[in-house]
Amino acid sequence: MSTENGIHYHEENQHPEQVGETPKASPDSITPEPAPAQDEQGQPTENLTPEEKLKDAEEQIAELKDQYLRKAAEFENFRKRMNREKQEAIDFANQSLLLDLIPIIDDFERAIKAADASQKAVTDFTVFYEGISMIEKRLSSQLENKWGLKRYDSTGEPFDPNRHEAIMMEKSPDINEPVVKEDFIKGYSLKDRIVRSAKVKVLMPEHPGTGREPEKANRNEDAGSAENPS
């Protein structure tokens, strides 16, 4: 602390660079001024007349409209192409299956021509029958091994409404549960899923309710016990 003319003051808090100088702002504290708006030619819009500003806005609107129309046309073409490819996939989904069936149809055609030429002779009919049987086996084997379409037999099996469709019924005293007696039209499954139920004749028990009478009697006994408790 110094004393001059009776005045006391501190010197250690005074720095030459702070005395009489204005504090400088840091570069981070400076906010950049927004760039002036420009038209398509790069000219500041502040210098444009109202008519020029309107013309510039109309040109921008026209450009945006043209871009929108182009995008809409591209999307419409894409949608049409996808629909066309989807329809083609549906139309030709069974092409491989049909190509496998064509040779078998050719076999049928050759067998029919052979039958017409045989004039229904006994020996020729036997050959014709064997040929038709061979074609049927070939077709069934082709569908089962390559496409998973399997034909199943139902004769002698317990009646299952999920696999069988009863078109005739006959009562029998020798059975306790419905059983398929005759298989009129074969059933088919596609990869373990039933696609056509077999049309069958079913044997039905003569007394289908015999197995339920004891249960009914037991329920009556239980009811009587409840009414007359010991």
Identify whether 205 is part of a domain: yes
For residue 164, what are the domain limits? Answer: 150-213
Residues 173 and 209 grouped into a single domain: yes
Identify whether 100 is part of a domain: yes
Identify whether 50 is part of a domain: no
Identify whether 86 is part of a domain: no
Note the pTM of the prediction, 2 decimals: 0.48
Identify whether 229 is part of a domain: no
Residues 186 and 205 grouped into a single domain: yes
* pLDDT tens per residue, range 96-153: 887 888 888 788 887 777 776 665 555 667 777 788 888 888 888 888 888 888 989 9
* pLDDT tens per residue, range 54-71: 888 999 999 999 999 999
Tokens 């086996």 appear where?
Answer: 137
Tokens 């009863």 appear where?
Answer: 166
Number of domains in the chain: 2
Identify whether 46 is part of a domain: no
Identify whether 122 is part of a domain: yes
Identify whether 22 is part of a domain: no
Buried/exposed code over 76-92 (b: 16+ C-beta within 10 A; e: otherwise): eeeeeeeeeeeeeeeee
